Structure 1
Amino acid sequence: MKFVDEATIEVIAGDGGNGCMSFRREKFIPFGGPNGGDGGRGGSVYAVGDRNLNTLIDFRYARRHEARRGENGRGSDQFGAAAEDIVLRMPVGTIISDADTGEQIAELLVPDEKVLIVKGGDGGFGNLHFKSSTNRAPRQKTPGWPGEQRRLKLELRVLADVGLLGLPNAGKSTLITAISNARPKIADYPFTTLHPNLGVVRVGPEQSFVVADLPGLIEGAAEGAGLGHLFLRHLQRTHLLLHVVDIAPFDADADPVAHARGIADELAKYDAELAAKPRWIVLNKLDMVPEADRGKRVKEFVKRLRWKGPIFQISALTREGCEPLIRAIYEHVAQMKNAPPPEPDPRFDLAAAGDASPAA
């Protein structure tokens, strides 16, 4: 199935039914009184996060979703029936915003939770509604209220704990294949990955985390070069970034240190918050380096990059070094998920109290 993470749709709620003006007319009952019922409400449009969906491709082709209007009221005290609501099922992690104003309407993070997108119009009042002790034969009725309508922009950001980033052909797809049950396309040429791939890594009983593999980044990605910039938004919900670096590139003139710095610069250009996320260096393709030269090459890489964060040496092809990496990732992700909320700053409480105090 084609991966689509953006779509623009139009949703229209149903109008309410009109109220009815009617009077009871039966033999031997000359003053039957009003019996016109109210109209039914129009159908609303809801959005629901579905954990079994991972793309917005359905909304790329079905762009208009319109609910039915409510039935009109009728005589004999009959109220109009309400129209059925429309429920749009979207992948969990979808952000729904108004396409015209840019206002964010909802963010689907909880599976099966219904979120109201546009509300159907209420039904109009029949003349039965206006009956009173002083107005025994009302001739008033009201039309139904119109339903809301909006143009929506849907943006999918996958829910992953860990994100893989790096240059094309750095071994990211091989790594996610080695540590999870994901099976992305793997080949010996760059830009093999054309869309994000998710994999669940099982560490132990009831111990797992989700990894997202993104297309490779190249220089100028923040300005639109290559494919990676199109999917960087999917890293914004991750707790950890794994920067995969090819320690043994085929090109003898290629410099892994310069490549690592280039990726960090592209992240900073794209989003400062994304660049501030915890980032670990993973030196891949260790099997391509002779054992006698591995230590020297790694030390030289760390020294030139001036890297002081965590660094791991692995071979995704042979799974060498993958188990310690998986354990370290799980411990970090579990710690981030169970992190207590930050303590409130008392300065803001004092400021709020000062603003709320009455003027002298």
Structure 2
Amino acid sequence: MTEHIVFSKTENGVGIVTLSREKALHSLTFEMVASLYEQLKQWDEDEAVKLVLFESTGEKAFCAGGDIKALYQAKDNKKAFDQANEFFKLEYELDLYISTYTKPIVVFMDGIVMGGGVGLSYGASHRIVTERTKWAMPEVNISFFPDVGACYFLSQTPDYTGRYAALTGSILTGSDAISIGCADYYIDSEALKTCKQEMINHHWLDYEEMSQQTVHLFLQSFIKEPPQSQLMTVNDKILKHFSYKTIEDILNSLRGDASEFAQATYKLLHAKSPISLKVTLAHLKQSKSSSLEETYETDKTLAKHFLQCNDFYEGVYSVLIDKSHVPNYKYRTVDEVPDELALSFFREH
């Protein structure tokens, strides 16, 4: 048990997971991941737990991701490298376990939901967003890649909107998250407290058979129609530019379009890690015909390679440590990144 994650069980059959690392926006440590994994296994066997609720303290974030800043130590330290590698492996195993969990899992995705937070929430059965939700897979900002299985589900979205989200690292709204299949329900944030209280008071143990539909019906009185997804208003523009097979062609398409969207998106991509862009697009294309489990296996291989890549540490230092946001990458443009180098990230050592 760690003080950064709290577990409780109500007398009416609800297991509650509360992320409580508020100052770090509930970013995940190895201990938090390990504790949650073990607790979920116990509750899976516990007949007194009918459903599980994921929540967090405060109003800023559900979970801002893994504690990437701590992984910076892996740069020059073999023990830290091995620990970082183990963190990713365990995190991915937990996320996959959540996606196959036998009991309903309800997630309050209020505030920031990024990286590892997306991993925790994606596989849950009932994913609730609010007007405060800020959803993103921003790993290309630090010369990493959209992991936690994201390249699987972002490759399944309509009109390449998931590809756009992965390559730009853009922050999406709750409505956007619903539109790309990464959330299910929209509830006003002010109603979450009441929703939780009624969920706790509800007599779940009275049900002989507990199903996802049972929870779905319970949530109906809280659900609202989500506002218009801003992402869907530009899906035709995304389709036009992001359907190309290479990142070079995507950039060329954007550069040749004088529209405000195209020029802003070109500038956005140009600021990302070139090696990340090439690896991410290759992963998205491969994952489109893979299973979620296969994508997680590829994630493990890629994470290990990025932990051995200087540009990853440069990205982490620039964005999360000195916060200059001016990384000095080895590769300045995608044209400089050899195709063979990008492909080598997919090979086991």
TM-score category by the smaller chain?
A: under 0.3
Tell me the TM-score normalized by structure 2: 0.27
Decide which structure has greater strand share: 1
Larger gyration radius, structure 1 or structure 2? 1
Q: Higher helix fraction: Structure 1 or Structure 2?
A: 2
